[in-house]
Amino acid sequence: MTRGDGLEPRGDTTPRLRASWQRSARYGVPDDEVKPVFTATVDTGSLLFECGDEVLRGLHATLADEPISLMLTDSEGLVLSRLCGDPGMTRSLDRVHLAPGFSYAESNAGTNGLALALADRTPSLVRAGEHYCTSLRGYTCAAVPVLDPITGALAGSVNLTTWSEQSSGLLLALAQTAAGHTTSLMLARASGRRPRPAPRGEVFRVYADRIDPPELSAAWQHALLEAMDTMGRGRTVAVVGEPGAGKTALAALARRELHPRERVLNARPPAPDDVDAWLAMWSPEVGKADTCVIVSGVDALPAWAAGELAARFTGHPTGFVLTASDSAAIPKPLMSFVDTVVELPPLRLRPDDILPLAHHFAHRARGRAVSFTPAAARALATHDWPENAKQLRRVVAEAAARADTVDTHHLPPEVFTTTGHRLSRLQAMERDEIVRCLAQPGATVVRAAAELGMGRATIYRKMAQYGIKNRQLRS
């Protein structure tokens, strides 16, 4: 395969591969020699490294005599670890700097397996001549992205590399198995929180809430007014902030305030393999009169999909709103459309919003007003809500389903703890039992210790360990 016009490979190649070559050319990557950026240290203390390295070492033990290198990278393409039992392969990889501490991101090394997997967030196989740099064409690389099982964020990738003349049929399957085992191990060693569901690419209409939105804090109002001002001038807005903070809700409310009769659609990102169907479902709506599309989580889109989306937005600058985790994460093809970035602070920095939102979510869930005891209100108001308004909505909806007046024993144990570190499933069960006993009417530490078969000193030590706030458990 030759370079052709310098912007894309020639021959029967996929659109993803051609798009990657075009990006590599725009990055100015040299085509004759790979020159990755070197970082002196790598993060070996992360959950990704702990679990991924363990999985790869187990796989390496079964492939010890094979000319295959097994690698783990972070989300930016930095190689964290490399295992290879073939001396010739090891020396060859050293010559092209495919080793721990070097970044093989697309912007540094051009089209390669791990870079393409990270850019498009989907399993990728790059054979010999499909590499952008000629110095990499002696290899075939299979890579699979690893997603954080709790947040869904891109954590890194598993990369398997072998000689180009070796069979590649099994390589991608092995990489997928290793990535899947890494994710499962990360979940097992996480805090016991529920895993994030796989993206399904939902597209739905946002209707006006039957309940008036609550009066929220100055921080929320400032972000809302900034969004409305930009939209009112016919400009494009991107709302950024932590997952669950309420970015889509803010964008929808801003559009409703400006255009009460407008049809508002929300398009959530799909799994990478479903992007074509997802785009076909809703992109024809862009540019229609009295229609606005809020495209959520554009930072989770594959790189090639961001380019396709940008092409559909061209000529319709006022027909859409974007949301993302932060402005730096917005893909460059989409960022060129953005006139104003509105940052929505997380809920822990908007404590005055917690109780108004709690009453609002409870009313929506139960269909009528719900009250909170002083102890329950205190517990809600002082929790740091790591998953933001999304977590608050879930907690309050579950509690409101049980009573018109929510007390502490209606709230889950997570509201009464601040651990600051992941808990094993066994630790989470122990914490939940302690909270359950302390939340009972008239409970004391002495009675809880007796019920659990623990000493009082042990209960106090466990309360400190799990960050259990006994004062909030008392009505």
Domain definitions of the chain by residue range: 15-188, 203-345, 349-473
Q: What is the pLDDT of residue 55?
A: 95
CA atoms within 13 A on the CB side of 412: 13
- Beta pairing, strands 139-147 & 154-163: antiparallel
The β-bridge partners of 205 are 265
The CATH code of the domain at 15-188 is: 3.30.450.40
Give, rounded to a whole angstrom, the gap between the first and last alpha carbons of the chain: 73
Q: What is the pLDDT of residue 10?
A: 52
The CATH code of the domain at 349-473 is: 1.10.8.60
What averages of pLDDT result for each successive group of 10 residues across the chain (475 residues)?
A: 50 81 92 85 87 93 88 95 93 94 93 95 92 93 92 92 79 92 87 64 72 88 96 94 94 93 90 84 84 92 89 81 94 93 94 95 91 92 90 94 90 75 68 80 82 83 77 56
Q: What is the pLDDT of residue 1?
A: 41
Rounded Cα gap, residues 153 and 75, in angstroms: 9
pTM of this prediction exceeds 0.75: no
Q: What is the pLDDT of residue 2?
A: 44
Q: What is the pLDDT of residue 94?
A: 94
Rg (CA), the chain: 26
Q: What is the pLDDT of residue 58?
A: 92
The CATH code of the domain at 203-345 is: 3.40.50.300
The β-bridge partners of 70 are 83, 160
Q: What is the pLDDT of residue 314?
A: 86
Q: What is the pLDDT of residue 195?
A: 63
Rounded Cα gap, residues 188 and 180, in angstroms: 12
Give, in order, the Cα–Cα distances in Å from 209 to each of 256, 270, 361, 363: 11, 25, 11, 11
Secondary structure (3-state) at 414: helix
The DSSP 8-state label assigned to residue 270 in this structure reads B
Q: What is the pLDDT of residue 105?
A: 93
Give, in order, the Cα–Cα distances in Å from 335 to each of 179, 244, 274, 316, 366: 31, 22, 23, 14, 40
